[in-house]
Amino acid sequence: MVKLLAAFAALALILWLVIDRVRRRFFADLKSPERCARLWERLYGWNWQDHSVNNYGFAPSALDHPEKFQLELYRA
């Protein structure tokens, strides 16, 4: 039982260290404009080609219902 708890504690420590390193690198990217631009390109620079996204209420709707935009997602 003690070995299991020690192994769990070691795994939790390793996981915490990995998460802390990722967090530090992410926030370090936000401190300089060059790194922020690289982060922006990493996240939003994908080539979407022919893919489209959902309309979250930016186009006019013909329905008169409180959930009209959600209902239009299923309209053919």
List per-residue pLDDT tens for the chain, 76 residues long: 888 899 999 999 999 999 999 888 877 766 777 877 777 777 777 766 666 555 555 666 677 877 777 777 776 5
Structural contact between residues 34 and 28, judged by C-beta atoms closer than 8 angstroms: no
The per-residue DSSP string of 5-17 comes to HHHHHHHHHHHHH
Q: Which of 48, 54, 53, 51 is nearest to 71 (CA)?
A: 54
- The pTM assigned to this predicted structure is 0.38
The b/e string for 33-42 (b: 16+ C-beta within 10 A; e otherwise) is: eeeeeeeeee
Question: Which pLDDT belongs to residue 1?
Answer: 84
Could you give the CA distance from residue 25 to residue 31 in angstroms, rounded to a whole number?
Answer: 10
Q: What is the pLDDT of residue 63?
A: 75
